[in-house]
């Protein structure tokens, strides 16, 4: 069993030492995991195209395992059926229902591969098994036994594995949360010691920003895990965030590329790799934006020890996630405290704070959902000064007011009025020299 580090856990790589992962067949070129998303397997024609793509890698001499999503829209349909029967349904049965979308595709793809003369077989999460915790509907992978898959790859069999599913501690079917099949693919790649995990999707790579906003956005050849994590969590929804955490923890080389491009096209996609593998480092690699946040200001909060603890303990108890926080110095024994929460949590946050008003003792709550968070991300910031300043100057030149600022080692984020989000992204894209 290969124990997988829980994303976010500060454990060292808990994966089994490399020596225990059998070597690939001496003649094999590389061991690769190919993952196909819902739009890539949306119908039989697409599944045939996927089979051709897999066949090419097999014919090139690679050992191949395939991970698939359900057909585009299938999982939504399954969710709707559960909800139609009972809005508050048993999460264990919900997982049983949702896991069928992937199961169907693995069988179909195995058949399509067999008609191409390739020895293929389907694998469901429980058959491998892909072990998860018991959090139905959003389970985390805890361990994968890759031994049998490796053994069969070595004799030329292609494993077609259902993404998104696992087996809980009580041997019931679990699912990993929407979009989770990316995570299945990366975890499998780690467990079988794959050289690469190719994630085929409907975009041809990771861009410097959303090309719908900035037509001159550029496709990146390479991006560091940490940058990708920041970009994923702030709105560039190409990869499931947990898949990037896993890739980073286990050093899995991930390639994001299009399943729609012709084989003849230059379709190298974007490699998500360790920072050290990026030779031409950009100071800023990408600009992300998110409209999913809302701003809350507590006016005239008493300025004394324990107040911040009281506020954020109450919010945490109601599962409200906090992102940016600013607090002013106080002139008269009270201060204003501003922070952001997920927009979907705004009502719950307000109710929680209203209830805790007697303990906290603030004067009033001011909430604003009409905000956007814009972030510039780049590992080059570690070694370059003036990155934030360029951002502030570019926004000032467009007369865009900054409401809240937060920074990390490789990211500067600002909160601005939502109406200016696109203008800000375009201005920053130019200011950091990212325009194609």
Q: Under DSSP, is residue 244 helix (H, G, I), strand (E, B) or coil? A: helix
Q: Within 27-66, which residues bind Mg ion (CB under 5 A)? A: 37
* Nearer of residues 37 and 380 to ligand ASP, judged by Cβ: 37
Element (H, E) at 390: helix 387-397
Q: Which two tokens stand for residue 203?
A: 């975009």
Sign of CA dihedral 335, 337, 338, 343: negative
Q: Within 119-178, which residues bind ligand ASP (CB under 6 A)? A: 163-164, 178
**Partner whose binding site includes residue 121, from Mg ion, ligand ASP, none (CB under 5 to 8 Å by kind):** none
Query: Number of residues in contact with Mg ion, rule: CB under 5 A?
Result: 2
Among 5, 40, 75, 174, binds ligand ASP (CB under 6 A): 75
Query: Number of residues in contact with ligand ASP, rule: CB under 6 A?
Result: 12
Centroid of chain to Cα 299: 35
| Whole-angstrom distance, CA of residue 153 vs CA of residue 85 | 42
The CB density around residue 408, as the number of other CB atoms within 10 Å, is: 12
Strands 158-162 and 165-167, bridge-based pairing: unpaired
Which range binds Mg ion by CB under 5 A, 52-60, 76-84, 178-186, 282-290?
178-186
Q: Within 89-108, which residues bind ligand ASP (CB under 6 A)? A: 101
* Nearer of residues 101 and 378 to ligand ASP, judged by Cβ: 101
Angle ∠(12,6,228) on CA atoms, nearest 5: 90
Among 179, 180, 205, 269, binds Mg ion (CB under 5 A): 179
| Site map 27..46 versus ligand ASP, x via CB under 6 A | ----------xx--------
**Partner whose binding site includes residue 7, from Mg ion, ligand ASP, none (CB under 5 to 8 Å by kind):** none
Task: With CA atoms as reference, report the closest residue to 132 among 160, 104, 163, 158.
Answer: 163
Q: Which residue has the tokens 């390739």?
A: 118
Minimum Å gap between C-beta 37 and ligand ASP is: 6
Per the rule left: phi > 0, alpha: psi between -120 and 50, beta: everything else, 208 is: alpha
Using rule CB under 6 A, residue 286 touches ligand ASP: no
* Nearer of residues 193 and 205 to Mg ion, judged by Cβ: 205
Burial readout 78-99 (b: 16 or more C-beta within 10 A, e: otherwise): bbeebeeeeeeeebeebbbbbb
Residues forming contacts to Mg ion in the complex (CB under 5 A) are: 37, 179
Report the interface residues with ligand ASP, using CB under 6 A: 37-38, 69-70, 75, 101, 163-164, 178-181
């Amino acid at each position: 069993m290969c124990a997988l580090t829980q994303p976010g856990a500060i454990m060292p790589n808990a994966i089994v030492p490399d020596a225990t992962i059998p070597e690939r067949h001496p003649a094999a070129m590389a061991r690769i995991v190919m993952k196909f998303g819902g739009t890539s397997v949306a119908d039989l024609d697409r599944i045939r195209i996927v089979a051709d793509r897999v066949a090419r890698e097999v014919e090139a001499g690679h050992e191949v395992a395939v991970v698939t999503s359900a057909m585009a829209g299938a999982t939504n349909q399954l969710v709707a059926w559960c909800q139609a029967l009972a809005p508050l349904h048993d999460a264990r049965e919900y997982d049983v229902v949702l896991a069928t979308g992937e199961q169907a595709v693995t069988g179909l793809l195995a058949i399509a591969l067999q008609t191409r003369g390739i020895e293929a077989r389907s694998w469901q999460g429980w058959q491998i098994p892909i072990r998860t915790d018991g959090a139905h509907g959003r389970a985390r992978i805890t361990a994968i036994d890759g031994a049998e898959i490796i053994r069969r790859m070595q004799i030329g069999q292609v494993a077609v594995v259902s993404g998104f599913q696992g087996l809980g501690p009580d041997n019931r079917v679990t699912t990993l949360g929407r979009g989770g099949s990316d995570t299945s693919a990366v975890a499998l790649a780690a467990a079988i010691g794959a050289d690469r995990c190719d994630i085929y999707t409907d975009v041809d790579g990771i861009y410097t920003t959303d090309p719908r906003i900035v037509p001159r956005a550029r496709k990146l050849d390479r991006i560091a895990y940490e940058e990708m994590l920041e970009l994923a969590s702030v709105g560039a929804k190409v990869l499931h965030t947990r898949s990037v955490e896993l890739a980073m923890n286990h050093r899995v080389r991930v390639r994001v590329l299009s399943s729609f491009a012709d084989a003849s096209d230059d379709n190298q996609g974007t490699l998500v790799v360790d920072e050290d593998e990026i030779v031409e480092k950009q100071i800023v690699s990408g600009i992300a934006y998110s409209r999913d946040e809302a701003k809350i200001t507590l006016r005239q909060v008493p300025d004394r020890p324990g107040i911040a603890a009281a506020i954020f303990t109450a919010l945490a108890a109601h599962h409200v996630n906090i992102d940016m926080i600013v607090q002013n110095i106080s002139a008269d024994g009270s201060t204003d405290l501003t922070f952001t929460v997920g927009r979907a949590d705004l009502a719950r946050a307000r109710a929680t704070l209203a209830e805790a008003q007697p303990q906290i003792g603030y004067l009033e709550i001011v909430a604003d959902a009409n905000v956007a968070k814009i972030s510039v991300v780049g590992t080059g910031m570690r070694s370059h000064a003036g990155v934030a300043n360029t951002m502030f100057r570019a926004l000032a030149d467009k007369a865009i007011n900054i409401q809240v600022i937060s920074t990390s080692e490789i990211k500067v984020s600002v909160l601005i009025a939502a109406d200016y989000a696109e203008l800000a992204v375009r201005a920053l894209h130019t200011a950091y020299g990212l325009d194609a």
